[in-house]
Structure 1
Amino acid sequence: MVIGVFPIGKIAVLGIKQITTPLSLGFKQIAKRNLLFKNYICAPAGQLLNSLETRCKIKMLGLPQPKRIPRLPEKNATEMGANILSELFVILLGLSLIFYEVSR
């Protein structure tokens, strides 16, 4: 079944998207102020995601795999890493609520 059939499901997905936006902005602000967070958490996560995404796209197109993927600029990698961290935070929060309900 598609989630679009249920109006409550649409509202829930929209709510989750709205929650991730301020989290992402918060992670970006932290990365601007804290170089350790930026250099060791946000930027590497963004570079890793870029590398995985590029390799998957190349594989789906049936092209030969390159030996080296060009790195993203630092600003783009930090933004992408902050977005991934905010989405990961929301997913972990949801999983912890599910685990709590199941264990109860």
Structure 2
Amino acid sequence: MVLITLPIIKLSFLGIQQLSRPVIKLIRLEAKQSKTFRNYICMPAAQCYHWCEVRLKMLLLNLGRPAKVEPLNEAMAVELGTEVLGELIVYFVAATGVIIETRRQANKRSLVAKSINVHHKEIIEALKVLEYRQERQKVYLQELTRVLTELGEIISMVPCNKHTTQNSKIKPY
């Protein structure tokens, strides 16, 4: 099962990456055409990403905290903003796909568990029926044993002589 799903997952991620390219192009086009989109969505996202990246690099390289992070120029901010937004879209699409697949698998496991529970209950009911039948047969066997014992006692009480046994067609035990 794992051998089949891994290539499918890799193929899915590759497909998502391929689909993200046109989305990034659309975002760039929109950023170039719409000043509102550029100023209020692309550039703030890019400046925030740039600020976080510079601070994190400085901290990781033990260079101390930067006093002030220089903002990107407009062209670089638009370029970085479109990349960041495109990657966020790809990430959210992939995360949504993973969540949907996880829920589908959980539902599938739940259905299997429910069917196992139903089958288990059916087996328990059948077992109860068989136990009831076994008890009834045990009672019948006890009754038959009792009757046969009484019959044996009655036969043993009957006097048996040679003359009656020879003339009768019934042979004693």
- Please report the TM-score for the alignment, with normalisation by the length of structure 2: 0.51
Larger Rg: 2
Structure with the bigger RCO (C-alpha within 8 Å, sep 6+) is 1
Which residue of structure 1 lines up, in the alignment, with residue 50 of structure 2? 50
Which residue of structure 1 lines up, in the alignment, with residue 26 of structure 2? 26
Amino acid paired to 2:74? E
Which residue of structure 1 lines up, in the alignment, with residue 122 of structure 2? none
Which residue of structure 2 lines up, in the alignment, with residue 93 of structure 1? 93
Distance in 2 of aligned mates of 1:74 and 1:66: 22
Amino acid paired to 1:77? A
Deviation string, structure 1 residues 28-58 (Cα, Å, up to 9, x no partner): 1001111100000001101111111111111
Which residue of structure 2 lines up, in the alignment, with residue 3 of structure 1? none
Amino acid paired to 1:82? T
The equivalences for 1:1-104 within 5 A come to: 7-101=7-101, 102=103
Displacement of 1:67 in angstroms is: 1.7
Q: Which moved more, 1:67-76 or 1:90-99?
A: 90-99
Size of the aligned set, in residue pairs, is 99
Structure 1 spans left out of the alignment, 5+ residues:
1-5
Structure 2 spans left out of the alignment, 5+ residues:
1-5, 108-173
Taking only the aligned residue pairs, the percentage that are identical comes to 34
Deviation string, structure 1 residues 62-92 (Cα, Å, up to 9, x no partner): 0111121011111111111111111111221
Q: Find runs of 4+ consecutive structure 1 residues off by over 6 angstroms.
A: none
Alpha-carbon RMSD? 2.0
- Please report the TM-score for the alignment, with normalisation by the length of structure 1: 0.81
